[in-house]
Chains A and B, each alone.
Chain A
Amino acid sequence: MAMQLDKIQLNLLEQVADLHEVPAGAYNIRTNGASAGRNTTANIDIVSKEDKDGIDIIIKPGTKKESIHIPVLLSESGIEEMVYNDFHIGDDADVVIVAGCGIHNGGDLASKHDGVHSFFIGKNAKVKYVEKHYGYGDGKGEKIMNPVTVIEMGENSYFEMETAQIRGVDSTNRKTVAKLADGATLIVGEKLLTHGTQQAITEFEIDLYGEKSSAHVVSRSVAQDDSYQEFISRVYGNSECNGHTECDAIVMNNAKVTAIPEIKANHTEASLIHEAAIGKIAGEQLIKLMTLGLTEKEAEEQIISGFLK
């Protein structure tokens, strides 16, 4: 299917998927509430759902070194949508999935993208999932995103999730739920920066059911101005497993951050750790960079960009 993207959409595409043009490999691009282009490969099929908005992505067992891009772009003000995307990842597959949502809202109506991504990961499969959220536009309309990620991990599978939301999104409520079978490994890295009066709530609920399963959740965030962030992380160890959850936040101006880590051992062999630290930028860090010739503002920017790198 030949597709045309306008300048605003191309910019959103670059921000959320690091793409300058329509990608190679499998993709499904959704713009303003409808599918705008799709490509499948011999190993990856994409099928529209019939009962609701969304797609099924079916990756054949043993698929190696392929990527799937599924960006969502909203460039018209006032669009509200709810999308369900299911990823069926075959045994032994090794793939990269890049999702992301970019909203340009130049109008006064709220633009809202809610999505539920469900991953069904086969045995020994390896998935890297990258999800970026980005919003811009000077209209008064809010840019709202509420992503839900559900991950069901098969034996010895590996799922690495990288999410980033740096400025631009007025309100977000993210929920990630994972269930891990024997030997499965889940790694989550979250980067978040809120400013103005933005609000971001992120919630993780991870159930380690399998023997020798492990989960590692790390969130780094910066809250500026009058923004508000809430980090909730629940890791439940139900067998011999390892779980680690960490929240590290820098709070600035009048911003507020809440971190609620919860770990629960339902098995004597479960080993679980939580760490949470919230604080302002250390004065000595600013001073060190200033002694290298940076202004206080430059030093602050350097510290934040390193922290969120």
Chain B
Amino acid sequence: MLELRNVSYTVTDNGKKDILKNINLVIDDRFVVITGPNGSGKSTLAKIIAGIITPTSGQILLDGVDITEMGITERAKAGISFAFQAPVRFKGITVKDLINLAAGKKLTFAEACSYLSEVGLCARDYINREVNASLSGGELKRIEIAMILARGTKLSLFDEPEAGIDLWSFNSLIRVFESMHENIKGNILIISHQERILEIADKIVLLKDGEIAQVGTKEEIMPQILGISAVCPQIKE
């Protein structure tokens, strides 16, 4: 269970600007989706949870333990995983290296293969590939998700997992989230604009201008979101 208490984040470059204001949120559900317009502070909130950004004020608790002062490494060890919106490339580091680092041990070929096939990649073709510019954005994105599977932590955080997923359907992505929950039993927090991802949410958090505009079930929130057209009608298909 993750709890955010009065979390605010203010930047002072070029004048004071509140990016997040008094965020109070409890994440104790299977799937929680944070949505909202661009610039509403969603990615900042994800980075605050992962420890990449330090909030200006407020408290973050993981299973009742105050993790506000913990750095990225400590939070990762405490059980938080974070899939980036834009995955990072590494020269010389292979897919196998990253999956092993994520798992925290040297995996057998069969184990590594199981994570990669979950995300629709054939391990034989990918395991020894370098995570460099030779991989497409979609391939990198799936490797990013495979790393989260290999970590198997109690909180998994995905920043727009659907962005750039090529030749691989949303259905497959949603199946990954579902089987992930079955296997790990943790909480999955997804930042997304995608209606099909919102549909699997047990709880939807609508963020607007750095504030929580509304929290509720998909039945409560979806009609309003569709009403304000936060979701592009073309990607509903």
List the interface of chain A (C-beta within 8 A of B): 220, 248, 282, 284-285, 287-296, 302-303, 305-309
Contacts and interface: CB of A to CB of B under 8 A. Distances in A.
A291 B88 contact: no
Given A284-B88, A294-B73, A302 B82 contact: no
B77 A307 contact: no
Contacts of A307: 91-92
B73 A248 contact: no
A75 B88 CA distance: 44
Given A291-B80, A291-B81, A302-B93, 17 more contacts: A220-B92, A248-B91, A282-B88, A287-B88, A289-B101, A290-B73, A291-B52, A291-B82, A292-B76, A292-B147, A293-B73, A293-B104, A294-B73, A302-B97, A302-B101, A306-B91, A307-B92
A285 B71 CA distance: 16
A293 B82 CA distance: 11
A288 B73 contact: no
Given A290-B72, A290-B73, A306 B92 contact: yes
Nearest to A305: B92
Contacts of B205: none
Interface in B55-108: 71-73, 76-77, 80-82, 84, 87-88, 90-94, 97-98, 101-102, 104
A306 B76 contact: no
Nearest to B131: A306
Contact of A296 (B73, B77, B90, B98): B73
Interface of B: 50, 52, 71-73, 76-77, 80-82, 84, 87-88, 90-94, 97-98, 101-102, 104, 147, 151
A211 B88 CA distance: 41
A287 B91 contact: no
A291 B50 contact: yes
Contacts of A305: 92
Nearest to B77: A293
Given A288-B84, A293-B73, A293-B76, A308 B92 contact: yes
Given A287-B52, A302-B101, A292 B151 contact: yes
Greatest chain B CB density within 10 A among A282, A294, A306 is at A306
Contacts of B98: 292
A206 B215 CA distance: 66
Contacts of B72: 287, 290-291
Contacts of B97: 302, 306
A309 B92 CA distance: 6
Contacts of A295: 73
Counting from the closest, the 4 A-B pairs by CB-CB distance are: A306-B92, A306-B93, A290-B72, A293-B76
B76 A303 contact: no
Contacts of B104: 292-293
B87 to A, nearest CB: 8
Contacts of A302: 93, 97, 101
